[in-house]
């Protein structure tokens, strides 16, 4: 290698330091993206399924089919969005962060539209009309959500290249996600009315007015948060247009991703994590109404799930440095599985005592889930780095579109589990009404399914992280060195701009 080339690479290595150095506002600004995203997503995972059955009077079978059809469309839509993001020429506003601004108003409106028809309008639309409306608005929401989530996930790769700072971004993203659940949990505290029956029993029904007021407030807040997230984020690594270089085909990009063990593993783990979380959030609204008769448990159980995240946050950096990301995620996955399995074996207890035992195990499960939730985005970025180092190709938008598709397939698993359980119980009768008799005779089944299904999902997640995900602590450290060397060569070859030279508004 010639002397001048060595000097150029040495200068480039010095510039690598400009791709790090995050300040508190950077972490806060990045967290706002998932604060907003998870508010609307939690409205789907926690409220929408029951809203469909209780207000729209939709059959669980139809809901299950609709969710599956939406995911088939996502298999087409998500990679297209990923390629749009990858191939779009960076502007003064950056390549990725600008999509937070573009998605802010559409995402707020799409969320509101899913819940909009009031009961009399639902009746006027008829059974077929409301089925068509629900399908169109749900698919529309999924498309707009993709428009935000794929560029937002890709943003972490260009905000910083430092492994420790990326780990911090993953932690703050998870904190933002947890904060996004809080407004939805507040809605669950007042969105149902207790309706006494002639035989003295009580059936809880969803209150439309209270729900739509809460969703409207959420939609407004989402628009505001995404705009501020756009303003506070900064891209420190900007790829230049590849002049004279053949652009990789979508097939080749997907092939490189799906041949990488770590990327496949983290995608499957992300799918099972979301499926388990979405199942519990949605099915617990039925469980707490009909098994325990205590709607306040929605809020408390979620607090028991997310409180560990707050408690663990100060220690995650030390745990990762000592044991490694993969290693702590494996432990967290199995801990969550064991906690849910323990809930199942407590099913014979008196309801009064079971309430507190159940919430206690929710906390233990939350400890395990918090570990992998805090790290899922960091290990995803590591896996994408691994693909780049091994193939020399980086397509963040396409990579995150595949990862997000796996996550969305997790929604299908959750939808099948929730609505399959409701079908088995006979929750909606032949007249399209809630069946009090079916609920009364199958209370125990609500509990069994609410515990054993997540136990299986989280256990499988642990197995995949243990046996398939390849980036152990040592391999991740080696990857960081290789990534920095590659970055220096890209700077030396004038393929990217970094730091203050990077294109910004």
In a domain, 430, yes or no: yes
Residue 428 β-bridge partners: 434
pLDDT digits (tens, 9 = 90+) for 80-102: 888 888 777 777 777 888 889 99
Within a domain: 3: no
Strand partners of residue 496: 239
Which residues, other chains included, contact 22 with Cβ-Cβ below 8 Å and sequence gap of 6+? 159, 160, 162, 165, 168, 169
Q: Is pLDDT above 60 for 8?
A: no
End-to-end CA distance of the chain, in Å?
A: 38
Structural domain for 473, as ranges: 8-240+247-501
CB 74 within 8 A of CB 405: yes
Average pLDDT of 292-310?
83
- Compute the residue count for the chain: 505
Model's pTM, two decimal places? 0.74
Report if residue 1 sits inside a domain. no
Q: What is the pLDDT of residues 489-503, one digit of tens each?
A: 777 766 666 654 454
Q: For the segment 427-447, what is each residue's pLDDT rounded down to a tens digit?
A: 877 766 778 888 888 888 889
pLDDT tens-digit map of 210-238: 889 999 999 999 999 999 999 988 887 76
Q: Quote the CA–CA distance of 87 and 151 in Å, as a whole number.
A: 12
pLDDT (0 to 100) of residue 344: 95
Report how far apart, in Å, the C-alpha atoms of 231 and of each of 26, 36, 226, 498, 502 are. Answer: 10, 14, 9, 19, 16
| Spatial CA neighbour of 417 closest among 271, 291, 283 | 283
CATH classification of the domain holding 139: 1.20.1250.20
- Is 2 contained in some domain? no
- The helix-helix angle for 396-425 and 443-467 (nearest 10°) equals 150
How many helices and strands (H and E) does the chain possess? 17, 4
pLDDT at res. 337 = 97
* Domain presence at residue 409: yes
pLDDT bucket at 368, cuts 50 / 70 / 90: very high
pLDDT of residue 374 exceeding 50, the answer is: yes
Domain count of the chain?
A: 1
In this structure, is residue 434 part of a structural domain?
A: yes
Structure tokens at 490: 């890209």
């Amino acid at each position: 290698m010639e002397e001048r080339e060595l000097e150029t690479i040495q200068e480039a290595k010095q510039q690598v330091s400009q791709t790090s150095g995050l300040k508190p506002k950077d972490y806060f600004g990045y967290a706002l993206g998932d604060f907003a995203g998870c508010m609307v997503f939690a409205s789907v995972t926690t409220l929408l399924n029951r809203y469909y059955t209780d207000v729209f009077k939709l059959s669980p079978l139809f809901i299950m089919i609709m969710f599956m059809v939406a995911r088939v469309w996502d298999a087409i839509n998500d990679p297209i969005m990923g390629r749009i993001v990858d191939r779009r020429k960076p502007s003064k506003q950056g390549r990725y962060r600008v999509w937070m601004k573009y998605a802010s108003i559409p995402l707020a409106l799409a969320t509101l539209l899913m819940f909009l028809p009031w009961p009399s309008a639902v009746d006027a639309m008829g059974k077929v009309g409301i089925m068509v409306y629900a399908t169109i608005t749900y698919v529309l929401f999924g498309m707009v959500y993709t428009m935000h989530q794929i560029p937002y996930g890709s943003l972490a790769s260009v905000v910083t290249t430092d492994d420790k700072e990326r780990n911090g971004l993953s932690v703050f993203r998870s904190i933002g996600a947890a904060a996004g659940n809080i407004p939805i949990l507040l809605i669950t505290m007042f969105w149902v009315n207790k309706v006494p029956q002639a035989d003295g029993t009580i059936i809880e029904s969803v209150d439309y007015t209270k729900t739509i007021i809460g969703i409207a407030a959420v939609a407004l807040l989402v628009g505001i948060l995404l705009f501020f997230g756009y303003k506070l984020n900064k891209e420190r690594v900007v790829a230049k247009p590849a002049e004279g270089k053949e652009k990789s085909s979508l097939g080749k990009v997907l092939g490189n991703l799906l041949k990488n063990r770590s990327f496949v593993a983290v995608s499957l783990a992300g799918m099972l994590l979301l499926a388990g979380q979405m199942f519990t959030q949605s099915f617990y609204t039925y469980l707490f109404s009909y098994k325990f008769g205590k709607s306040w448990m929605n809020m408390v159980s979620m607090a028991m799930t997310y409180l560990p995240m707050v408690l663990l946050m100060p220690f995650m950096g030390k745990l990762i440095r000592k044991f490694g990301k993969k290693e702590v995620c494996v432990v967290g996955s199995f801990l969550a599985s064991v906690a849910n399995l323990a809930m199942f074996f407590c099913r014979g207890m008196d309801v009064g005592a079971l309430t507190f035992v159940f919430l206690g195990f929710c906390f233990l499960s939350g400890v395990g889930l918090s570990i992998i939730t805090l790290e899922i985005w960091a290990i995803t970025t590591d896996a994408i780095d691994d693909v780049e180092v091994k193939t020399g190709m980086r397509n963040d938008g396409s990579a995150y579109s595949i990862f997000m598709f796996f996550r969305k397939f997790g929604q299908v698993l959750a939808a099948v589990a929730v609505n399959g359980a409701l079908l088995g119980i006979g929750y909606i009768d032949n007249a399209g009404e809630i069946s009090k008799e079916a609920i009364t005779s199958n209370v125990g089944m609500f509990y069994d399914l609410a515990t054993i299904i997540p136990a299986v999902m989280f256990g499988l997640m642990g197995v995949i992280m243990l046996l398939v995900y390849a980036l152990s602590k040592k391999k991740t450290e080696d990857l960081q060195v290789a990534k920095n060397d590659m970055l220096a060569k890209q700077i030396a070859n004038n393929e990217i701009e970094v730091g203050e030279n990077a294109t910004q508004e």
